Amino acid sequence: MCPMENVENAVHDIARRAKTAALSLATAPRGIKDAVLNSMADAIIRDSDAIIAANAVDLDRERAGGMNDGLLDRLALNADRLKAIADAMREVASLPDPVGDMVRGSTLANGLKLLQVRVPMGVVGMIYEARPNVTADAAALALKSGNAVILRGGSAAASTNAVMVDTLRSALTDHDLPEDLVQTIDPLGREGGVALMKARGLVDVLIPRGGAGLISTVVNEAKVPVIETGVGNVHVFVDKRADLEIAKNIVMNSKTQRVGVCNAAETLLVHADVALPHLADVLPDLVAAGVTIHGDSTTVRSFPKLNIVPATEDDWAREYLSADLAVKVVKSFDEAVEHIRQYSTGHTEAIITKSLARSERFVNEVDSAAVIVNASTRFTDGGEFGLGAEIGISTQKLHARGPMGLAELTTTKWVVHGTGQIRG
């Protein structure tokens, strides 16, 4: 066999073991799943020194390789972040179990009783990059929703993910559940990821989480059903009816609270009627925070001392994932909405306004997974929405949209109860 055939066989074997392991959760009561998740959280804290040491290896390698600061921040773990990961697992454990929930039910005229209930997907594949927190989040959400998970975490976090996966699997065996509920194909490299994408019939759903290149590759090449998670070219629009103090706080938080995440603002649109006072107030603080401004001609001309970079067409379409922000002055509400329609990736958009009518127009006319009025774009997050840890933010429209939690990792089946009815 050629090497690729060897890799494909290895991935298929992993997927078959995952499918068998998932049967152990099909009828598992909530108490068992919750106990496992709490044990996993404890194990992450127990092994935190080993995880952080492995993470330091990954950080040193990627820093030397030129990874930008935003992605390095996503990759980095410390004691506080590991505690947050463990807390998120415990929060998932505390959430209601979606498996068995009735979506709808009815009794037909012929006496048949119909129930549509939530059931696990089965085997969930995750392909992601430079985000070791996803390793724990995906395992927690998959297990609570009754699924097995196969992880492909990428070379950037290889050392971190290897230790973390071992940690999570140890908690499974402590509860007499099969280790194959959580598996990684990282040792099989890029070829393993390709084989996972093509393992139709063995993997029930594939979720990519990362940059535009990764997501595009998975969507275009996978034979397995894919839930497309979102590249975040996120916009904040400061309307002419905005409270400018609130607007400044929201813009600063949306851009600078954490720059390397998909819900960070990448473009600021400001109505011309308030552009000069708002930009005069917020741009110096953004620059002082280390943000490079890529401005339209009005912004560049109005603030010559701020060393603003003239924006190009590419800037309006970019997800920077870095300390960069595109800024444009718009003449009207309609121009702002048209700009968003042209360049948005369908992730998150926000409007800052005191006008109820204009906020309602924005909500109705902007077609993104999350539309926010008078709050930071950083709230588009499974944890912030009360879903527990999220497995990703979907920007597609079928099955799941927006932050995906437990319910989004289930499908449904119809259960029909009869008393001998036959169809005439």
Per-residue pLDDT of 252-272, as tens digits, reads 999 999 998 899 999 999 999
Tens-place pLDDT, residues 131-183: 899 999 999 999 999 999 999 998 999 999 999 999 999 999 999 999 999 99
Q: Which amino acid is at 213?
A: G
Tens-place pLDDT, residues 341-397: 999 999 999 999 999 999 999 999 999 999 999 999 999 998 899 887 788 899 988
Which pLDDT value is given to residue 391?
87
| Closest to 306 (Cα-Cα) out of 328, 277, 329, 285 | 285
Tens-place pLDDT, residues 326-355: 999 999 999 999 999 999 999 999 999 999
Is residue 228 within 8 A of residue 215, CB to CB? The reply is yes
DSSP for 320-377? --SSEEEEEEESSHHHHHHHHHHH--SSEEEEE-S-HHHHHHHHHH--SSEEEESS-G
Percent of the chain with pLDDT over 70: 99
Which pLDDT value is given to residue 390?
82
Q: What's 86's DSSP letter?
A: H
Which pLDDT value is given to residue 1?
43
Full set of structural domains in the chain with CATH: 3-227+400-417 (3.40.605.10), 234-379 (3.40.309.10)
* Mean pLDDT score, 95-123: 96
Is residue 398 within 8 A of residue 406, CB to CB? The reply is no
Which pLDDT value is given to residue 110?
96
Q: How much is the pTM?
A: 0.85
Q: What's 87's DSSP letter?
A: H
Mean pLDDT of the chain: 95
Tens-place pLDDT, residues 299-331: 999 999 999 999 999 999 999 999 999 999 999
